[in-house]
Amino acid sequence: MALLPRLDYEYAERVVTDVFAGYRHKARIGDGEFYDTRNLTSAYYPLLGSRKKRGRVRTMHAPGGVLAKEKLAFVEDGALWYGGEKTAVTGLAPGKKQLVSMGAVIVIFPDKVYYNTADPSDHGSLEAGYSSVGAVEYALCREDGTPYPQPVKSETAPGEPTDGLYWIDASKSAHVLRQWSAAMSEWTEIPTVYTRLRFISEGELGGLFRKNDGVSITGAAVEAVNGEHVICAIGGGSGERDWLAVTGLLDEALTQTTGTVRIERRTPEMDFVIECKNRLWGCRYGMTEGKNLNEIYCCALGDFKNWRQYMGLSTDSWTASVGSDGPWTGAVNFQGYPMFFKENRIHRVTVSASGAHQITETVCRGVQEGCDRSLQVVNETLLYKSRADICAYQGSFPESISDALGDVRYYDAAAGVLGERYYISMRDAQERWSLFVYDIRRNLWMREDEVRALGFASLGDELYCLTPDALFAMEGTVGTPEPYVSWEAETGMLYYQYPDRKYLSRFNLRLYMEEGAQLDVYLMYDSNGEWVRQGRVKMKGTRTVTLPVRPRRCDHLRMKLVGKGEVRLYSIAKILTTGSDVG
């Protein structure tokens, strides 16, 4: 009797992946993760799904920045638009803008202009300048601008003074104004003395300045008037010559008939500006007006026009120098504190009710240069792009959250937030742009597409994305929707040759697809670089389908899903079959 070889019974083992864990651009990734994705979202987790159609809100030609208040604001072609309407703020210089919200006001840097959304007629420059024309009259005055009677000036006190007589004590180099008190029988020093400047203009000065403005005065015939001052009083108007009062002792009234008196209210040049606690805060590094600066500033409380208002009050403006080296790379209001970043530092300002603000310094990963727009707060956590990674910061030290992005270096990041999702657009060293989305609750990344974002703004349940040529609504609630969404998902190694004679005999893909949606399945065998199409599904109606895929025998393989239209992937089932020793 002849002996025949024994054939073992084949049996199938089913391994199902039904939780999809997003993008992980690494050589070795876990089950349910994808080496690359395009236009997929974690919104349907644990399913894998295509993102929503975006809405094209408008075409842009020369965009500068975007901001969300009660309505959407953006800069386009040198003008500020608010709520879809062009405002009176025009003539802005080309280039990137910082739009900062303070109450109802939008402040635009580096142009240093503002627009009041509650009162469209209120707009203009933060700065102001006035140059005198004709004679300028100087007179000693009180704080409200009313002139004093011309006092006696001498090195010795006047004899037999009457009550209330004024005397300029010239016995020392620093002259002092004194007043005779009959009740006390002594000369009492008047500690603060004011000088009034009167011009030939009528109403022009009042249109530029107001009381308590911090100004710089040059060209005055009275030396005590030149320099930095706070306007104590201001007056004039139609039919009345303009005047203002500042601190300074005038020995005797005079009229200046030559030269020009220049009065200016200035705003410092700043690299980044934010709003915090009813003030604007800014920073500056580098040469400005011949000085090498490394400073942090804030405006007067509630007054975005005044950055040099020093009256000894808690509401004053404030300036501080910083010792750390290197340029500023970003700024943000986080947990109610102004925070300023360098690539290797975080400086936090502790705001004092008395005006004695203090700066603390943390040596750690800061914001990468060029990535200032990546600073966003998601669920009370600050996220930003550092030189090496994406960081999450909660007040102590930053932690990396971007291991899934692999070893690719990225630059020029801009980010936005919608709910629990962090959208960040950035380029790699080969100038390829990518838009990534991080789901902070699920700790999942997805790569959407190649959008180059100049900025984002969240308004209600919509996230607006400003690109070099268009403004998009990422959720598609407004604007003209895309006709369809093209998407891709590339797996890692789905299969290696198994021991014990197991081999992969079939994939089963369980999907929901809308009418008109299409799906192609590709396999790459043994890393040969060639994607082989294994099948296509094109839906005539909206329903759930199962697509079987039969791979050939190989050592290992990858899968790529390419489709368009709305799709939800429920599961990928691998059918492993144990064969015989023969064949």
Which domains are delineated in the chain? 11-52+486-578 (2.60.120.200), 129-265 (no CATH)
Residue 5: band (very low, low, confident or very high) from pLDDT cuts 50, 70, 90: low
Q: What is the pLDDT of residue 563?
A: 94
Nearest of 35, 33, 37 to residue 25 by alpha carbon? 35
Residue 183: band (very low, low, confident or very high) from pLDDT cuts 50, 70, 90: confident
Residue 557: band (very low, low, confident or very high) from pLDDT cuts 50, 70, 90: confident
Residue 553: band (very low, low, confident or very high) from pLDDT cuts 50, 70, 90: confident
> What's the rounded Cα separation, in Å, for the pair 33 and 19?
9
Q: What is the pLDDT of residue 320?
A: 96
Helix (H) / strand (E) element for 554: namely none
* DSSP at 559: E
- Token pair of 225, please? 């008037």
Adjacent-strand bridge partners of 100: 107
Q: Measured between alpha carbons, how far is residue 19 from residues 436, 444, 488, 573 in Å?
A: 20, 12, 17, 12
Helix (H) / strand (E) element for 152: namely strand 152-154
List, for residues 321-374, the tens digit of each pLDDT value.
999 999 999 999 999 999 999 999 999 999 999 989 999 999 999 999 999 999
Asked if 34 contacts 492 with a C-beta cutoff of 8 angstroms, the reply is yes
Asked if 114 contacts 108 with a C-beta cutoff of 8 angstroms, the reply is yes
Adjacent-strand bridge partners of 572: 17, 509
